[in-house]
């Protein structure tokens, strides 16, 4: 009689931030499919309610006290939540700058700080940080986002170095623009601003530095994340895996 192999994450618990839509929802679905008990975190309660098979935990990650109250007994931590603000530096609202860094850098630090002791105690853990091509390259008018993503890249590497002896890996995934509700709104806004077709916005404006002129799909990011917690992941650590269509090849 042929035995059915166990899912790769059977018996393990995962926490995903920004899980209500887009990349986060795709990640949560993939983790559930791979057998994990998934804690899905987002401030969008309605979006969380659309996910099946997860423990939905509404949380605003800009509230650091609320972040510190999230579950710490997780084996896979996926830092995905993010937001954007676009303005020249002289006009950039300092409070908005602080907000982006709280959500995209300080919250991941606090989540890792609390989860790592559990991972160390069990001799296994995976920290997956959804960074961006803007964690490797800068663009004008995105000072907070670029700063937060560059900081996340550095934090990920420190976690990798400290966690290695405990069986914990830490990596970044660096996509270009992903087909998410946030990006779809940006496309529509720029199409109106430039008076061009939305497809032309993607090719000529948003992905001008990239060789491959297409948006990344959320499920593609989830597939790459599955490599980082799968059977081949033990020696993949401290790195940044680009999904940028050749953007950083220049």
What is the C-alpha to C-alpha distance for residues 113 and 118, in angstroms, rounded to an integer? 10
- For the record, the structure tokens of 157 come out as 């590497």
What is the C-alpha to C-alpha distance for residues 44 and 58, in angstroms, rounded to an integer? 7
Number of other residues whose CB lies within 10 A of the CB of residue 56: 18
Number of other residues whose CB lies within 10 A of the CB of residue 5: 7
Helix count (H) and strand count (E) of the chain? 9, 7
- State the greatest distance between any 2 C-alpha atoms of the chain, in Å, as a whole number: 69
Q: What is the DSSP string of 86-138?
A: ---GGG--HHHHHHHHIIIIIHHHHHHHHHHHHHHHHT-EEEEEE--GGGTS-
101 φ/ψ sector (left φ>0, alpha ψ -120 to 50, else beta) = alpha
**Residue 145: active-site member:** yes
Name the active-site residue from 120, 145, 177, 229.
Answer: 145
Are 15 and 71 in contact by the 8 Å Cβ rule? The answer is yes
Cα pseudo-dihedral 221, 113, 18, 125, rounded to 10: 40
SS3 40: strand
- Residue 36 has phi, psi (to 5 degrees) of -80, 150
Among all residues, which ones are annotated catalytic?
Answer: 145
């Amino acid at each position: 009689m042929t035995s059915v192999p166990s899912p790769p994450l059977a018996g393990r618990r995962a926490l995903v931030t920004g899980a209500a839509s887009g990349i986060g929802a795709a990640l949560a679905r993939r983790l559930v499919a791979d057998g994990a008990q998934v804690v899905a975190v987002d401030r969008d309660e309605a979006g969380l309610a659309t996910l099946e098979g997860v423990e939905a935990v509404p949380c605003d990650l800009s509230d650091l006290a609320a972040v510190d109250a999230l579950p710490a007994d997780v084996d896979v931590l996926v830092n995905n939540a993010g937001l954007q603000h676009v303005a020249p530096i002289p006009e950039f609202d300092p409070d908005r700058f602080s907000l982006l860094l709280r959500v995209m850098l300080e919250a991941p630090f606090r989540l890792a700080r609390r989860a790592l002791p559990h991972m160390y105690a069990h001799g296994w853990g995976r920290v997956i940080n959804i960074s961006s091509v803007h964690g490797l390259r800068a663009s004008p008018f995105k000072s907070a986002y670029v700063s937060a993503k560059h900081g996340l890249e550095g934090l990920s590497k420190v976690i990798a170095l400290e966690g290695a002896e405990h069986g914990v890996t830490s990596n970044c995934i660096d996509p270009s623009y992903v087909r998410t509700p946030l990006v779809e709104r940006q496309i529509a806004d720029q199409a109106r601003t430039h008076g061009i077709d939305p497809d032309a916005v993607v090719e000529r404006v948003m992905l001008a530095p990239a060789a491959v002129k297409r948006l990344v799909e959320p499920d593609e990011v989830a597939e790459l994340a599955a490599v980082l917690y799968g059977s081949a992941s033990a020696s993949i650590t401290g790195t940044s895996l680009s999904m940028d269509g050749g953007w950083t090849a220049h």
